Amino acid sequence: MKTFLRSLLLLSLAAAPLALRAENLAITGDTIYTMSGTALRHGVVLVRDGKIEAIGAADTVKIPAGYRVLQAAVVTPGLIDAHATVGLSGLLNQPQDQDMWEKSAPVQPELRAIDAYNARDPLVAWVRSFGVTTVNTGHAPTALISGQTMIVKTLGRETDEDVVNPAAMTSVTLGANGLNAPDGSPGSASKSPGTRAKAVALLRAELIKAQEYAHRRDGKDEAKRPGRDLRLETMLRGLDGTQPFLVTVNRQQDIIAALRLAREFKLKLILDGCTDAPLVLNEIKASGFPVIVHPTMQRTYGDMENLSVETAGQLHAAGIPIALQSSYESYVPKTRVVLLEAAVAAANGLGFEPALASITLDAAKLLGIADRTGSLEKGKDADLALYDGDPFEYTSHCTGTIINGQVFADGPH
């Protein structure tokens, strides 16, 4: 019991930043992966007012007086988790910190992750301790339409201070997890889809309702205009592409069904999971949609029975844009670490730099935040991860995480 309480205390302390404001910093690294060009050997990154002020070789960048100097063997951009539930799923695994699954209905696009996100949950600090600075987080893929994700920095302040995009994507799940009834069993309630065909039919019906709602709302006769409908307004943002659908699909038939709906309604999709992607590579590439690949170490069962640690490498080799994710599973602590997932992918066909890109710059591009983060460039947010060795080597540790110029020392891990 004492050991457990001591662990909780340490995690609680880690949840608080060691710096209350951005500092002027000079980060020196034996190797700095900028992700905007070739790696720097013996480089320096200068940080001022939360932004990257300068970056270059140590013999060309002068460190101003008064700057706090940090040193690392390897420096990378802050890591980005392209699909998570952290902040809605919490560390304790108790009812009060488990808001990632709303069981009352199968279709609920109006739910917003930002309204449930707990920036100060110790689990947020835990993923930050590995160098994760940004997450696209929200409700778990356990309903046909589970809600809207948010993109947020892992600063651990107030949610409205940390948020980057309060409504990034609308989460849709096709396949077994999308058939979950409110009581948690597949298809046991009449209002929950029981088969794949029913799930797609319900999704198609919601899209048609949204189109009809827009037609009535924009009509000239004010008396016939409908009242506001948050559900349909969310679906409309998916239809016009301003808030794309994040579609979790694993079986090849579900991937094809998602692509079919996209053609029918001219949707902008981000495919998620895609265990069976190697079976339909040509179709995915032809669609032009990016893929947030399933965690490499996810368990292989059910819809994920064809899961492979080589999937990320195969998608990348086919020229399909990818990012990696922690995703969600029902057991504690309900999150993974994208650093470790990328390490496995790197060793199984993806390679070092593409794997690092999948959790930095390529993830930032996929999430639409590459103007702020994902690479180390002058003017971008000062989000960096510091390591005492190769970040994909099991024996290496994250020795510090910097977000918007604030220094955290949650590790080492």
Domain residue extents for the chain: 1-76+374-413, 79-373
Tracing tokens 């069993």 back to the chain, one arrives at 185
* C-alpha separations of 9 from 90, 155, 407 in Å: 15, 19, 20
289-338 confidence digits (pLDDT tens): 999 999 998 888 899 999 999 999 999 999 999 999 999 887 777 789 99
Q: Residue 8's pLDDT is what?
A: 44
Domains 1-76+374-413 and 79-373 share a fold: no
Q: Which residues contact 113 (CB under 8 A, 6 or more apart)?
A: 87, 88, 137, 138, 139, 147, 148, 149, 150
Q: What is the CATH number of domain 79-373?
A: 3.20.20.140
Q: Which residues contact 193 (CB under 8 A, 6 or more apart)?
A: 106, 144, 178, 179, 187, 199, 201, 202
Q: From start to end of 168-309, where are the E strands?
A: 170-173, 245-249, 269-273, 291-293
For the domain 1-76+374-413, what is the CATH superfamily, name and number? Urease, subunit C, domain 1 (2.30.40.10)
Which tokens is 25 given?
A: 């910093």
Closest C-alpha to 380, from 397, 352, 360: 360
Which H/E stretch holds residue 185?
Answer: none
| DSSP H stretches of helix in 53-121 | none
- Could you tell me the pTM of the whole model? 0.93
Residue 170 three-state SS: strand
Q: Judge whether 79 and 386 are in contact, CB under 8 Å.
A: no
Q: Judge whether 335 and 98 are in contact, CB under 8 Å.
A: no
Q: Residue 208 carries which DSSP code? A: H
Residue 129 three-state SS: coil
Closest C-alpha to 33, from 403, 405, 360: 360
Distance separating alpha carbons of residues 264 and 204, to the nearest angstrom: 9
How many helices, marked H, and strands, marked E, lie in the chain? Answer: 11, 17
pLDDT averages per 10-residue partition of the chain, 413 residues: 41 46 91 96 97 97 96 98 96 89 92 97 96 97 95 97 98 92 51 89 97 91 87 97 97 98 98 98 98 92 94 98 92 86 97 98 98 98 98 96 91 49
Residue 230 three-state SS: helix
Distance separating alpha carbons of residues 250 and 174, to the nearest angstrom: 8
Which tokens is 294 given?
A: 């399933």
74-121 confidence digits (pLDDT tens): 999 999 999 999 999 988 888 889 999 898 899 999 999 999 999 999
